Structure formats: structure tokens, C-alpha cells
Structure 1
């Protein structure tokens, strides 16, 4: 049966009977409903998935990305999506496996507590969404960035041309932060790219991504394509055509920018001086560079959407736009950085368009990066394993009635970071907190630091996290939040999903 005929048959059946629960839906989490005339058509049995994962992209950049805004108009924006760790490697390990950092064992960017080698040694590579989808007959591709420590350099030796399990096509480098002068591992063959305009990494992988999508569609094979950019991670190098754009932009001046009084903040932050004019100018310059750097990512999205549309496959393809963590620029007197528990760093974009997703919709319920792996598996018609800590977002994407859903997000961070070789090493006043664990609710942020410091913010009254109210918060409520943190810090699988 042709794909179009199958889709029409599914739509006809949906008008007569209630749809069965999705394969990836945890037991007791959702009961799908019959679709109305205004509900988008039912998805294909094995839709394509295009996942764009950016690096350090904060919400304040989306306003300058027209194709991302088009994606919002075509699909659903998750208004409360949080990462479980604001550092690159732990976050990406969680995305790949659906497990919190304390379960992947990837707590930092470098051994012995993190990085590619730890991810590999602990068996995580056998439990990624790529492995699951490839086994189910999907063509899978990763292009751009993998995990910190996966670097095609002489020091890495055997890993120079290593291709992890689960990937049909592999076009990856570990040294792409500048977007120039890198070695790309193309399915086990290294190719050097220099400093010519055509060597710009986002341009290179956009072409390869479009080619992969076209070949997969021509072969009539379902595919998952992950476009994993280094942009806008520092140095936030823009494509040549964007180098002088947005000349008059300034970093957003939110109420928390260069915060006047931080005497109530934790001890690691409390002694930070107010930003001087030169530092503010540097922050504005960094913001302009970040906006310039994401223009090539935005064109990547536009090019992939156009390629899929040209093949007539838009109705069978999910587009997922996301970031591994957020970024702060001037808030709470912090220069450039991302390692805090504040919303600037933990609350990041997640936008999904595709079959069954209502155009222009906004989802307020909580989602985390633990949810992406089971969501991709559920999109492919698979049942996510019990070991994942997250839940499939498919019921929310399809506007199915959900009887219960999480009301908290959990964040864990291992610090401080003093490794000079780490591309995420914070600047002096960029924010380098000690180890902490945090719970984010709809109206609260609660943080426990390993050194004994505590933070509590009433976000309903103080959305910019200006006043630490830990001393004034009701003891009963603090006890509840402490209990939630204690449950999260050791949970696994179903126990995490039930919190």
C-alpha cells in the first residue's frame, strides 16, 4: 500500500473508532481520544524525524531566527522545557539515552567523571535512540557534534575514525567550535576542511544533511537525521555573509541584568562586582556574535524544510528544534556562561512540528531532555524501554488527554570547573558554581548546594529570580522540596517518571 493510501485509511478509521494508546506512552499516563475535524491528520506509521540540536542556544536568540519562527507557526512550542544539566556532554548524554546524568554516569565534559570515553565505557552507546531506530529499519545520521572528548586528533588515537553503533551515516568532528579548520569523520574516513568560505561547518553539514534526506526519501526508507551544531557556542563564529549583520543589537536588558543587589545570593556569586561599562560592551558584542552565528543554523532549518517539502514528505516528517542548554549574558552580574540553576541556563527552546501536531500551539506542561529519546522511539512506533527516566511527549504533541503529568523538573550539576582544556571553562565572572541539585516547579526554583548554601525563588512574584526567599519560605514547603530532591537524586526508570 502506498504511504498516501495508508494515511487516508488511517484517517478514515480514526473517524469511526477511538485511537489506541501510543506505543511510547508510559502506563497510566495518557488515553488518546478520537480526533475532531480540526485535529491534524494522523501521522504515518513510521514518520521521518529531523532533529536540530544546537549548542548553548538561549531563548533570547529565537526572535532573530525567522525559520525557527516559521517552525513555531507550523507546530508546538514547549514553554516549560528544561535540561537536567546545563553542561554540554551531560546534557547530550541524557538526550541520547533518556537518562539523568546520575544514571548515564556522565557528570562533566572530561574523564574520570564525564566525556565521550565515560559514556562509551558505561555502555550508554548501546542504549541510544539511534540504536533503537536503526534496529527498527530507520536510516539514521548524525552530522556535526557528538560528545566532548570525541575528537579526531592524534591524541585521541583509536577514536579518530570510530563510528558509534546505531548510525547509518556519520559526519562528525570534535573540534568544530570555530566552524573552520577541522577534520570531519565521514563514515570512518577523515577529511580536512580549512578556512575557505565553503569550509564553514554549518554550510558543509547542511549540504550533507539535505543530501541524506533526499536519498532516504528517494529510497522510501524512514529516517532520523540529527543535525548537531556547535553554534552558537563560543567563539560563535558566523558564516561569512553574516559577519557584519545586526550591527546595532544589544543584549536584552531584563530586570536581572547587572542586578543591583546580590547580597542574598549563594556564596559563590555573592562577591561578584557589578558589571562595568567595558564588560557591558563585551556582553553586547557577544550577543551580536551569537545572533550572527545562529543565522546559518536558521538557514539550515529552512533548507531542510524546503527539501522535505519538495519531496512531498512534509506530512510524514517531524522537525524538532532544541538546544543542549541555555546561556546567561549579564543577568545576576554574570558575564558569559551557562552553569547556573537559573532559568537563563536551564530553560531552553523545544519546538516540534509534524504529523498530528497542532500548528501554532503552546504546551505549558513540563518537559525535560530525558523525554527526547523515548519521544523519538514512540514517533517510530517503538515502546521505549523501562530503563529510560523520561516519558514520551507524543501524547502532548498530539493533544491527547493526559490523566497525569510531571509538575517538576530536576537539575543536577557537578562543579566547580577548573579544567583549562574544557571549552566550557567559565570566565572569572562567568559563573562557576559548586555542585548543586535543583527542583523547578511551575512557580518555584529550589537549589541545594553541596557547600550548604540554599536558594528559593517565588517565580510567580519574582520571575527574574532577584530575591532569594529561602529564609522566609514556609518550613513545610521546604521540607517537601528537600524530599523531592532526595527522591530525584537516586531515581531510575519508572521511579523517575512517577515523580
Structure 2
């Protein structure tokens, strides 16, 4: 009897431990590369085909005002997983990395017994690797779009641990090669946005871009099927987002909505009771890390500058943030812009007004940019199309969301907007001071000739001073105005 009692006790202990682990929330983040907020069906795009994402949004929660901190790949990704603004990570510029002592939220999940996987694009630096038990890196493991190891990584995980999966596609980053999804979108059916040309080159460019988004959507559907097969879907929080805007002129690297606003869909069958709703609240990418750690029941250090928005899951209509902050630093070309947005206005400070905002080098080399250049040479550009060539640019810009939700008309010089201009100018200045941001004189210069694609300059591979570097911003944990 004594032996039987011991066996039963051991069994109950083991069963309880496994059951407790299975009940801990699983977390899965799908992060696309270079996809704007309005390039998914659930956000009103009638041209792109994203049925799997659209269904998750219908059964989950969608955010309409979710902002990144940078419209540039590595600064944005590092900001997301550290919960810090780009200048506070020490990696404010493209292709730079935070110090090794930087902490990521996957590292804290892993320390609390989460099995953690990164599959697809990495682009964050050595410190971030501590956060993952296993990494599926490179096209050899992940395929052309970065998604082919996603299902396999779910199947190969230990079944007695909760899991965190960071599924990072290469889709829809340029260049776009042929794949099994090519032709899913026909160029002759494309209607380019008003700030691009309506020519055949742009239409073909856009169709290929949408084909890659469809591939991203397809593999999300395959992962959902696998979660269902493993009976893990109910207890898994799924997030779908992007790292920055589409790789077209007027979008990627810009601090307006076309560059900084990300699609953000949350699906969690057990946790989201009111399905199919949309939150209009302002949320920042620095808020993701605190939110996921809070939902996982994990305390986190002061390093995280964001705030948990977990209460929006139950009450998406409530106000969360009063202000959103974002920045644009070097990405192929010299730059220093800061943006603050409240519910009514967006204010932009441009410290390099003599630099045109053509977009990143890959967008400058695109068919879409070439067609804008052709219109320019003919004198046929509209005012908004011409914006990418404008020099000098305004040092300050102010946009009224109630009258101008697309940020087309700069009202910074209009007398009736004097008060909101003054207020947001003050808010941005305070945020920069509090968080240790600055405007170095010796910023990294252009690595490529403007309007010439990938033709290198004499400054290629030479770095200047990083914003926040002299102020030791990597040690500054101030959250700033909220």
C-alpha cells in the first residue's frame, strides 16, 4: 500500500506539473518585413489576398493606431524586443547592434521555463540570441520567404513547456523573385496609391509585393492548422505585425503613418472575449514587451520603457497612451527626424531639412521610383508625388488628423494651429531630454548617391556619432511622457 501511495503521489505531482505548464500562456509573434498597416485585407485593402490574417482579425482584436518607433528594420526590431526607443538601445541606425548587456523580453521568458524559438529573419545582434533556445536562421533553413521552418519548429518543440515563437519572414522585403505565389495578383488589376505613379512598372511592382504578402499569409494559416492539430490554439496568443512600412517611395523610413503605423492583430481564443473589435487607442511598439511579460506573469526590470496594454484586451475602447514617439535615423542616407503624435495631431521635427526623403536605397532603385522620376522630368508630378524630391524640406511639420488623416497638408505655419504646434514641440523636446536623445553634428553620412539606387559614396561604411551616444542613452531607463 505504501508503494502504491508513493506511485500515485508521483503520478499526481507529474500530471499537475505538466498540466500547469500546458496552462501557461503560449505566445507567437508573426512579424512581416516591410509591410504597411493598410496592406492587409482586414485593414480595408481590397486588392491584397490575406484570408488567414483576415480570419484571425475577425476572431480576435485589431488595432488601428499601433505605431512602431522606427521605420527601419533593425532599429525597429531591437526596439520591439527590448521595449526601448531606438536611441536607448544603442542601435538607432540600420545595421547596428545594442550592447551585449541589453536584455530582451524573450530572454526573460526563457528564464521562466518558456521554450523559445526564432525562425526566419534575425537582424538584431548577438545579445538577442540569449533569448532563444533554438534559431532557424538563413534562407537555407527558412526558404526564400523565411517561413518554411515555422511548422517544423512547432512540431519539434518539447511538449512539457510553454513556448514563445518569433516567426520573422523575409516577406515582403525586396528583391522579389518568382515563387509559387507569383501571379496571385495581376498587375492590370492593381490600383497604386495616389502618391505613386499609375504606370505599368508601379503596377507590376505592387503586384509582386502583394504576392509576397500572400505567401506570408499562407504560412500563418499553416501554423494555425498545426496549433489546432496539437490542441494548443486555444491557449496561444498570436500577434501579427510588421517592422516598418512598405518598401516604396513615401513609406519605408518615413515617420508618418505610411512608414510608422503597423498592422497589429491579436488572436487569443481564451483571452479575447469580445471578438472582431477594433481598438483606436494609441499604442507603441515599446509597449509590446511589457504587455507580453505581464500576460505571462513575469516581472520585468526598469529597462523596459513601455507600458503594458493588457487591459485593452478586455476593454479596447479605453484610452491607453496620450502620446506616441518615433524616430528616423540613418538608413542608407543621413537623417535625423523625430515624431510625436497625440489623438488629434502629428508633429515632426526634421533636423536635416536639406536632405530629400527619397526613401531607402532599395526603394530608390525600384520601378516605382523610376516612374516617379519620369513624371518629374515631364513636369507631371502631383504635389504629394513630388514630396519625395522636395528640398529644402520643412524643419517642422504639423498635421491635423480630424481634417487630414493622410497627413497631406502641413499646417505648421497656419496661425490657427499655433497652440497645438507649441504644445507638441514642447512635449517632443521634453521627451528627448528625458530619454537622453540628441542631435549629433557628425551624423552618419549618405552611403549611396541620392536618387541613384546603390551607387556608393566616399562615405560608404563610415559611421558617425549615434544619437544618444554622448548622453549614455543605453543606461537611461526613463519612460518619458506617456
Q: TM-score, normalised by structure 1?
A: 0.69
RMSD of aligned residue pairs (Cα, Å): 3.0
In 2, Cα distance between equivalents of 1:214 and 1:360: 29
Counterpart residue number, 1:445:
346
Counterpart residue number, 2:78:
93
Structure-2 change in CA distance of 1:163 and 1:171 (3 Å): farther
Counterpart residue number, 1:304:
223
Deviation at 1:288, TM superposition (A): 0.5
Deviations 1:10-50 (A, max 9, x none): 9xxxxxxxxxxxxxxxxxxxxxxxxxxxxxxxx98521111
Q: Are 1:318 and 1:353, in contact at CA under 8 Å, matched by a contact in 2?
A: yes
In 1, Cα distance between equivalents of 2:38 and 2:189: 11
Bigger RCO (CA 8 Å, 6+ sep): 1
Pair 1:231 & 2:171 matched: yes
Counterpart residue number, 1:25:
none
Structure 1 unaligned spans of 5+: 11-42, 151-158, 174-181, 185-198, 259-274, 330-334, 419-432
1:315 aligned to 228, 231, 234, which one? 234
Structure-2 change in CA distance of 1:2 and 1:145 (3 Å): farther
Which moved further from structure 2: 461-470 or 472-481? 472-481
In 2, Cα distance between equivalents of 1:497 and 1:486: 11
In 1, Cα distance between equivalents of 2:247 and 2:257: 9
Q: Are 2:245 and 2:258, in contact at CA under 8 Å, matched by a contact in 1?
A: yes
2:101 aligned to 94, 102, 123, which one? 123
Which moved further from structure 2: 469-478 or 60-69? 469-478
Deviation at 1:337, TM superposition (A): 4.7
Counterpart residue number, 1:139:
115
Q: Are 1:445 and 1:457, in contact at CA under 8 Å, matched by a contact in 2?
A: yes
Structure-2 change in CA distance of 1:441 and 1:282 (3 Å): farther
* Matched residues, number: 379
Deviation at 1:338, TM superposition (A): 0.8
Counterpart residue number, 2:263:
349
Structure-2 change in CA distance of 1:446 and 1:130 (3 Å): same
Show the 5 A alignment for 1:253-402. 253-254=192-193, 256-258=194-196, 275=197, 280-327=199-246, 329=248, 335=249, 337-354=251-268, 355-357=270-272, 358-399=274-315
Deviation at 1:2, TM superposition (A): 10
Structure-2 change in CA distance of 1:223 and 1:93 (3 Å): same
Q: Are 1:46 and 1:379, in contact at CA under 8 Å, matched by a contact in 2?
A: no
Counterpart residue number, 1:27:
none
Deviation at 1:73, TM superposition (A): 1.2
Deviation at 1:412, TM superposition (A): 0.9
Counterpart residue number, 2:337:
436
Show the 5 A alignment for 1:204-215. 205-206=147-148, 208-215=149-156
Deviation at 1:220, TM superposition (A): 2.6
Look up the SS of the partner of 1:438 in the other structure. Answer: strand
Structure-2 change in CA distance of 1:444 and 1:236 (3 Å): farther
Counterpart residue number, 1:47:
25
Deviation at 1:372, TM superposition (A): 1.4
Counterpart residue number, 2:60:
75
Counterpart residue number, 2:453:
none
Look up the SS of the partner of 2:131 in the other structure. Answer: coil
1:244 aligned to 170, 183, 196, which one? 183
2:37 aligned to 27, 39, 59, which one? 59
Structure-2 change in CA distance of 1:2 and 1:486 (3 Å): farther
Structure-2 change in CA distance of 1:163 and 1:447 (3 Å): closer
Look up the SS of the partner of 1:106 in the other structure. Answer: coil
Counterpart residue number, 2:382:
none
Deviation at 1:371, TM superposition (A): 1.2
Deviation at 1:405, TM superposition (A): 2.5
Structure-2 change in CA distance of 1:163 and 1:76 (3 Å): closer
Deviation at 1:219, TM superposition (A): 1.7
In 2, Cα distance between equivalents of 1:346 and 1:494: 23
Q: Find runs of 4+ consecutive structure 1 residues off by over 4 angstroms.
A: 1-6, 249-254, 492-495
Structure-2 change in CA distance of 1:170 and 1:249 (3 Å): farther
Counterpart residue number, 2:323:
408
Pair 1:474 & 2:417 matched: yes
Q: Are 1:202 and 1:300, in contact at CA under 8 Å, matched by a contact in 2?
A: no
Deviations 1:51-73 (A, max 9, x none): 10110011332122110001101
Structure 2 unaligned spans of 5+: 1-11, 42-48, 354-394, 436-475
In 1, Cα distance between equivalents of 2:128 and 2:418: 52
In 2, Cα distance between equivalents of 1:461 and 1:295: 33
In 1, Cα distance between equivalents of 2:431 and 2:189: 39
Q: Are 1:102 and 1:489, in contact at CA under 8 Å, matched by a contact in 2?
A: no
Structure-2 change in CA distance of 1:171 and 1:57 (3 Å): same
Structure-2 change in CA distance of 1:306 and 1:90 (3 Å): same
Deviation at 1:252, TM superposition (A): 4.3
Q: Are 1:130 and 1:140, in contact at CA under 8 Å, matched by a contact in 2?
A: yes
1:106 aligned to 74, 91, 96, which one? 91
In 1, Cα distance between equivalents of 2:62 and 2:317: 18
Pair 1:172 & 2:137 matched: yes
Deviation at 1:291, TM superposition (A): 0.7
